[in-house]
Amino acid sequence: MPRTEVILFKEDDKSVPLVEWLESVPKKPRAKCVAALTRLEELGHELRRPEADYLRDNIYELRVRFQSMNYRMLYFFHGRTAAVVSHGCTKERAVPKREIDAAIKRKERFEKAPKKRSERFAKD
């Protein structure tokens, strides 16, 4: 299977929700989150638990745990070779419904204008 292109969702104001969220995450778990994004690039649709999981309505989560905190990055696939990361969040027991709903809305907006909504994933 070819490498998966990881795309970050971009808002109308050019902000990138995942980047803004990652800036608020402490250094060590942030590095683990970036490593998880790299794994998504490498494995794409083949990535499974414990690293990734299906939530609902074609929304998936990248799963990172650091100490007692659960970090999640929500994403969806666009075609066979691209994964679009909507945003990140922390969770206790389950990813909050509002976070999944936000990812679904971003997926709908992305599908209407993929080029306008795309930001390249840069590992640095």
pLDDT at 62: 98
Residue 11: phi, psi to the nearest 5? -80, 170
pLDDT at 93: 85
pLDDT at 58: 97
* Cβ neighbours around 123 below 10 Å, total: 9
Residue 21: phi, psi to the nearest 5? -65, -45
The model's pTM = 0.94
Tell me the CATH number at 43.
3.30.2310.20
Residue 12, domain extent: 5-120
* Cβ neighbours around 4 below 10 Å, total: 21
Domain count, the chain: 1
DSSP single-letter state for residue 15: -
| Dist. CA 21–CA 19, nearest whole Å | 5
pLDDT at 91: 87
Name residues whose C-beta falls within 8 Å of residue 19's C-beta, 6 or more positions apart in sequence: 8, 119
pLDDT in tens, the chain (124 residues): 678 999 999 999 999 999 999 999 999 999 999 999 999 999 999 999 999 999 999 999 999 999 999 999 999 999 888 999 999 999 888 999 999 999 999 999 999 999 999 998 877 5
Element (H, E) at 38: helix 27-43
Q: Where are the alpha helices (DSSP H) in the chain?
A: 17-24, 27-43, 97-112
| Dist. CA 26–CA 30, nearest whole Å | 6
pLDDT at 1: 60
Peptide bond connecting 50 to the previous residue in cis, omega within 30 degrees of 0: yes
